[in-house]
Chain A
Amino acid sequence: MVKRIVDLRSDTVTKPTETMRAAIADAEVGDDVLEHDPTAFHLESEMAKIMGKEAGLFVPSGTMANLISVLVHCESRGSEVILGHNSHIHIYENGGISTIGGVHPRTVKNDDDGTMDIDLIEAAIRDSKEEITFPTTRLICLENTHCNHGGRCLSVEYTDRVGEVAKKHGLKLHIDGARIFNASVALGVPVDRLVQAADSVSVCLSKGLGAPVGSVIVGSDSFITKARRLRKTLGGGMRQVGILCAAALVALQENLPKLESDHKKARLLADGLNKIQGLRVNTSSVETNIIYIEIEEFSGTKAEKLCNDLEEYGILLMQTGLSRLRVVLHHQISESDVQYALSCFQKAVNGVNHENGN
């Protein structure tokens, strides 16, 4: 039986479109290690310009983008970075900044909206010159949108304030901007203004923008020069990489305008899910394309079971806790998919009620 699949596990599942595939096939390429691949150069320059930074660097993944950024800012031994306790770098990047980079993480509590208290950030800053037992804080990292807190946006005011704290203490500021365009669209703030305070930003092309592979790091010329060398060391120096960058350039053009509609679909889905008895969604916290769903205790089901039941209907999503699910909208999910997903959720929850004799 041909099952209709609605893949809501992540916006990374987006597949390359026909125009992207055509661009991949026609891409002008060069050896990006021996010299510069022209299409990579075009993408990197374009992204830098859009972000209001001096230069850019294409990398195979967001993980490498963050790893490189942290390691370049923290290039002296004995460095420490301040970041959210629930940030992607801290939770989902294999602890690479430490295990690979030798940098010590100092976490500060992420609030529900993805921010960290400015005073708590400031209190966490330390200098080994003051105290022989301290590492030296070099860097603060923010994440915008904040993944684990439901794709919430950090405002430009908040980002600027953190930037000021960083400057005051001689620190750098890096923004994990995997979904920075979602934030820019949701807030109605031009993206370069949004990241103005940052020394570097990592931007994913393979998520909502829909490219098959990659991220771009942006920053100053000197930062990017160091980043390029570290990229080679980590093994991210690819040869005729223009084929991937060509797809990313198309993605920027085609899918940036579609992010607003992803947010609309998310709100539609969130509202619908919240109306289902047994499920609860904090709809006011759905700001972009990510929805977290709480399964109420009285529903008699748990996340794992609901996930499995929904999979039978072809709805794929992620289990993030015993009673917690996550869905992510993207441009290859249609409005009709959203309606179908809602009806499947309803059926699945009803089905459980049936089983429980409700």
Chain B
Amino acid sequence: MVTRTVDLRSDTVTKPTEAMRAAMATAEVEDDVLDFDPTAVRLEAEIAKRMGKEAGLFVPSGTMGNLISVLTHCDVRGSEVILGDNCHIFIYENGGISTIGGVHPRTVKNNSDGTMDLDLIEAAIRDPRGEIVYPTTKLICLENTHANSGGKCLTAEYTDQVGELAKKHDLKLHIDGARIFNASVALGVPVDRLVQAADSVSVCLSKGIGAPIGSVIVGSKSFIAKARRLRKTLGGGMRQVGVITAAALVALQENVGKLESDHKKARLLADGLNQMKGLRVDPVETNIVYIEIEEGLHMSAAKIVKNLEERGILVMEISSSRIRVVLHHQISASDVQYALSCFQNAVKGGQTENGN
């Protein structure tokens, strides 16, 4: 039976478009380790310009983007970084900042909107007078949009406040901006204004922007020079990398403009799901939707996920009562309607069993 597949597991599943494939096939390339690949240089300069930073560096993944950023800011033994207890770097990057980079994490509670309380951040900064037993705080990391909180946006005002706090204590500020363009579009704030307070930002091209591979780190020239060296050490120095960065340049052009529509689709889906008895959807700001399965439905997330899969709807099981879906430009409005009808079908069993 031919099933229509609607892949809502992540915005990383986006496949390269015809225009991207054509760009990759004709990309101008050079050895980016021996010299500079011209297409990589173009992409790095473009992203740096858009972010209002001095320079950029293309890396194979967001994980490497964050790893390099943290390790470059924390380049002295005995460093500590303050970050959210529910942030991607802390939860989903294999603890690499510690296991690979020797940096100690100090977590501060993430609120449901993705922020951390400013006083809690400040309280977590280590007092140099205690240095005999303390590591040295070097860096604060924010994440915008905040994935685990449901793609929530950190405002420019909040970001600026954290930036001031960092400056006051002579710390750096890094933004995990994997989905920073989603934040910028949702808030209606130019992306360079949004990240103005940050010393560095890591930006994913392979998520909603739709490129096949990669992220770009942006920061000062001296930061990027160090980052380039660390990238080589980690093994991220690729040769004729222009074949990938060409696709990213197309992605920037084609898909930033489509993010607003991804947010609309997410809201449409969320509204539809919220109307189904037994499901409750957290507020949606961008392209990520978290679905709580209410107790009264007596259905596990696993059961619903499996049921959906049989109809070609792919989603992510987060826990026994929580499911996540992520919208992207290769999900159409008709896909959203189809997904809604499949969800309705899937929960009907639970609704009927309870005589609802």
Task: Point out the residues of chain B lying under 8 angstroms from A14, CB to CB.
Answer: 240
CB < 8 Å neighbour of B64 from A12, A94, A236, A243: A236
State the Cβ distance, B92 to closest chain A Cβ, in Å.
10
Q: Does A133 contact B (CB under 8 A)?
A: no
Q: Does B238 contact A (CB under 8 A)?
A: yes
- The number of residues on chain B lying at the interface, defined by a beta carbon within 8 Å of a beta carbon of chain A, is 50
- The number of residues on chain A lying at the interface, defined by a beta carbon within 8 Å of a beta carbon of chain B, is 49
Q: Does B306 contact A (CB under 8 A)?
A: no
**A94 and B233 contacting across the interface, CB-CB below 8 Å:** yes
CB < 8 Å neighbour of A12 from B33, B101, B236: B33
**B213 and A12 contacting across the interface, CB-CB below 8 Å:** no
CB < 8 Å neighbour of A229 from B26, B94, B100, B238: B94
Task: Point out the residues of chain B lying under 8 angstroms from A24, CB to CB.
Answer: 21, 24-25, 243
Closest A residue to B214 using CB positions: A238
Q: Does B91 contact A (CB under 8 A)?
A: no
In the complex, A33 Cα to B93 Cα: how many Å? 12
Q: Does A239 contact B (CB under 8 A)?
A: yes
CB < 8 Å neighbour of B238 from A60, A235, A243: A60
**A240 and B241 contacting across the interface, CB-CB below 8 Å:** no
Q: Does B16 contact A (CB under 8 A)?
A: yes
CB < 8 Å neighbour of A244 from B61, B68, B244: B244
Task: Point out the residues of chain B lying under 8 angstroms from A243, CB to CB.
Answer: 16, 24, 212-213, 243-244, 247
CB < 8 Å neighbour of A100 from B26, B229, B233, B247: B233
A-contacting 9-mer, from B5-13, B148-156, B180-188, B340-348: B5-13
**B60 and A238 contacting across the interface, CB-CB below 8 Å:** yes
In the complex, A330 Cα to B65 Cα: how many Å? 33
State the Cβ distance, B2 to closest chain A Cβ, in Å.
18
Q: Does B96 contact A (CB under 8 A)?
A: yes
B-contacting 9-mer, from A62-70, A156-164, A257-265, A336-344: A62-70
Closest A residue to B65 using CB positions: A235
Closest B residue to A37 using CB positions: B212
CB contact list, A224-269 vs B, under 8 A: 229, 232-241, 243-244, 247
State the Cβ distance, A30 to closest chain B Cβ, in Å.
8
In the complex, A61 Cα to B237 Cα: how many Å? 6
Q: Does B59 contact A (CB under 8 A)?
A: yes
CB contact list, A103-129 vs B, under 8 A: none
Task: Point out the residues of chain B lying under 8 angstroms from A9, CB to CB.
Answer: 34
In the complex, A119 Cα to B254 Cα: how many Å? 62
Contact status of A212 and B60, CB under 8 A, knowing A12-B33, A94-B232: no
**A235 and B59 contacting across the interface, CB-CB below 8 Å:** yes
Q: Does B256 contact A (CB under 8 A)?
A: no
In the complex, A106 Cα to B63 Cα: how many Å? 31
Task: Point out the residues of chain A lying under 8 angstroms from B243, CB to CB.
Answer: 16, 21, 24, 212-213, 243-244, 247
In the complex, A64 Cα to B229 Cα: how many Å? 13
**A238 and B213 contacting across the interface, CB-CB below 8 Å:** yes
State the Cβ distance, A14 to closest chain B Cβ, in Å.
8
CB < 8 Å neighbour of A239 from B24, B25, B30, B212: B212
**A100 and B239 contacting across the interface, CB-CB below 8 Å:** no
**A233 and B99 contacting across the interface, CB-CB below 8 Å:** yes
**A234 and B21 contacting across the interface, CB-CB below 8 Å:** no
Q: Does A25 contact B (CB under 8 A)?
A: yes
Q: Does A84 contact B (CB under 8 A)?
A: no
CB contact list, B24-59 vs A, under 8 A: 24-26, 29-31, 33-34, 59
Chain B residues in the interface with A (C-beta under 8 A):
9-10, 12-13, 15-16, 21-22, 24-26, 29-31, 33-34, 59-61, 63-65, 67-68, 93-96, 99-101, 206, 212-214, 229, 232-244, 247
Q: What are 22 contact pairs spanning A and B, CB under 8 A?
A: A12-B31, A16-B240, A21-B24, A21-B243, A22-B25, A24-B24, A25-B24, A26-B21, A31-B10, A33-B12, A60-B237, A63-B233, A63-B237, A68-B235, A236-B61, A236-B234, A238-B61, A239-B12, A239-B61, A240-B15, A243-B213, A244-B243
Chain A residues in the interface with B (C-beta under 8 A):
9-10, 12-16, 21-22, 24-26, 29, 31, 33-34, 59-61, 63-65, 67-68, 93-96, 99-101, 206, 212-214, 229, 232-241, 243-244, 247
Known interface pairs A10-B31, A34-B13, A235-B67; 17 further A-B residue pairs with C-beta atoms within 8 A, sorted by A's residue number: A12-B34, A13-B31, A22-B25, A24-B24, A63-B233, A95-B233, A96-B235, A101-B100, A206-B238, A212-B239, A212-B241, A232-B94, A234-B235, A235-B234, A235-B236, A243-B247, A247-B243
Can you list the 7 inter-chain pairs with the closest CB atoms, starting with the nearest?
A: A64-B235, A235-B64, A240-B212, A212-B240, A233-B94, A25-B25, A94-B233
